[in-house]
Structure 1
Amino acid sequence: MTRRTLLASAAASGLASSLPAAETSASLALHWGYVADTVMGGVSTGRLTRARLSGTEAARLTGEVSTANNGGFIQIAADLPEGVDAAAWSGIEIDVIGNGEIYDLRLRTTALTRPWQSYRLSFEAPSAWGTLRASWDSFAAHRTSAPFDPAELRRIGVLAIGREFRADIAVGAVRLWR
């Protein structure tokens, strides 16, 4: 199986061309959970399942995103394992496959106190397994003036958000890289 590496940069705010990975990386053992806009009255529906896709074990998010009733998201999210210091790394990479739609990769730190605050990066989920590699500086702060500090990283989320569409995205491995 071939796997493309999709690079994210602050300048591009998205994906660049495919390049081989050469940096050292460390895999994270994540326990994904599912959250939807129903926690605030929205009506989006979805689910998290474990699946084997093209030979890769993955956490798969599927469902329908609805903007009705002030909603508009479904997500899978995982807390960083205890003792992981992301400050020793240059960024994060995730192996993804999906339906060609645009999704968000979101990071939360201990400095963020409101649920709507995050550091965000949008990306297109490829129809074949690919690796999204994002440096810490490629994430944009949302509704916070706190600068991103990787030493405070505590949560990673993948969201289908903002418009009505059918979500289908799977996440294989998640790694820190340098």
Structure 2
Amino acid sequence: MLTVKLSGLALIAALMSPTLINAEDAMIQFPVSDPSQWDYFSDQVMGGVSEGRASFEKSGAQTILRLTGTVSTANRGGFIQARTTLDAPLPSNAKGIVMEVRGNNEPYYIHLRTSGTVLPWQFYQAPFKAPDTWQEARIPFTEFSPYGGLLRQSFDVQKIRSVAVVAFGKDYTADLSVRAIGVYD
């Protein structure tokens, strides 16, 4: 198994363990086992009032990233997120994000920031549902839409600089668990 070190974020450029994601073509995994690789942010950085946290819980031999809290659109807010940063490009043949998720049947999002998303409110986003049982979710990069203005409709996969799981855009209680996340070809 080939491991590439990217600013503390170990990306595994090989097939993912079938116990995590049952995707034969998965090619890169962003590990959720190391809390130091993930940062928690909320709309409080811009005056919002959403509250939450990103925690890391053991489930047998696996570590699960869990994003919980209350999302509030009051005071022009409306998000909580856990984000990991990449310091090297993803492979050009990556086709999308693949995850194993569980939640409270609410909508969640993947947010991607690229070298072209300079302003804090700019990103590319795609929604996904998190049912109350573990499920694989695949989101092709073609399903991501620009958010925040002044962005191109599409992006170069090799210019992705961060990946975030996000509770966003409406008033609700967030409870999202991620036991695997990566990209596939």
Alpha-carbon separation, structure 2, partners of 1:117 and 1:39: 15
Runs of 4+ in 1 over 4 A off after TM superposition: none
**Letter of the 2:178 counterpart:** V
Equivalent residue, structure 2, for 1:172 = 179
Taking structure 1 as the reference length, the TM-score comes to: 0.81
**Letter of the 1:172 counterpart:** R
SS across alignment from 2:75:
helix
Alpha-carbon separation, structure 1, partners of 2:89 and 2:180: 16
Taking structure 2 as the reference length, the TM-score comes to: 0.78
RMSD: 2.3
Does the alignment pair 1:132 with 2:137? yes
Tell me, which stretches of 5 or more residues in structure 1 are unaligned?
A: 6-19
Q: How many aligned residue pairs are there?
A: 162
**Letter of the 1:29 counterpart:** P
Aligned with residue 54 of structure 2, among 48, 52, 64: 48
Percent identity among equivalent residues?
A: 35
SS across alignment from 1:88:
coil
Does the alignment pair 1:26 with 2:32? no
Equivalent residue, structure 2, for 1:160 = 167
Does the alignment pair 1:116 with 2:121? yes
| 1:24–1:60 Cα change, 3 Å | closer
**Letter of the 1:145 counterpart:** L
| 1:47–1:135 Cα change, 3 Å | same
Deviations 1:101-145 (A, max 9, x none): 111111110111111111111111111111211121111122243
Equivalent residue, structure 1, for 2:111 = 106
Alpha-carbon separation, structure 1, partners of 2:46 and 2:102: 29
